[in-house]
């Protein structure tokens, strides 16, 4: 999983990282996982997220950026994302951004590879 993380998923650590991800969502979808490194529910969501990335990133038709925010280590950034997107913070949480807007979001046990695959097939439905 660590190889997949370094190859396809980047960690948002500072405001500039978030601003860049938001800007890139103007060109193509951006998927962000807000992850607690101490929570077992978040660990399961992380595995589902990474399984999705592993299958989706290899599909050349699916141009998407993948990011993770560690909410304990980067609490101010996590709060800023919640404020700017107007999506109440939960952890774990996944946000799908497109054109600078949150198109879909979900949290906790609803974060599954299957759900994320459905989002890529019907991003605005």
Beta-strand ranges (E) seen in the chain are 9-11, 30-35, 65-70, 93-98, 101-107
Indicate the pTM of the whole model: 0.92
- The pLDDT of residue 4 is 53
At residue 34, the pLDDT reads: 98
What CATH number has the domain spanning 2-116?
Answer: 3.40.30.10
The Cα–Cα gap between 83 and 81 comes to 5
Q: What is the pLDDT of residue 60?
A: 75
Percent helix / strand / coil, the chain, rounded to 5? 45, 20, 30
Q: What pLDDT, on a 0 to 100 scale, did the predictor assign at position 2?
A: 56
Residue 125 has what pLDDT?
A: 52
Q: What per-residue confidence (pLDDT) applies to 59?
A: 77
**The token pair that represents 102 in the structure block:** 């949150």
Weakly modelled stretches of the chain, pLDDT under 50: none
25, 45 Cβ separation under 8 angstroms:
no
């Amino acid at each position: 999983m660590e190889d997949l993380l370094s190859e396809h998923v980047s960690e948002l650590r500072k405001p500039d990282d978030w601003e860049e991800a938001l800007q890139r969502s103007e060109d193509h979808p951006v998927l962000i996982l807000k992850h607690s490194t101490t929570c077992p529910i978040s660990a399961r969501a992380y595995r589902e997220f990474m399984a999705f990335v592993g299958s989706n990133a290899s599909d050349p038709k699916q141009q998407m950026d993948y990011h993770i925010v560690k909410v304990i280590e980067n609490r101010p950034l996590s709060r800023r994302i919640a404020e700017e997107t107007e999506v109440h913070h939960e952890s774990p949480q996944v946000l799908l951004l497109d054109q600078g807007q949150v198109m879909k979001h979900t949290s906790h046990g609803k974060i599954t590879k299957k759900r994320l695959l459905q989002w890529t097939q019907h991003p605005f439905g």
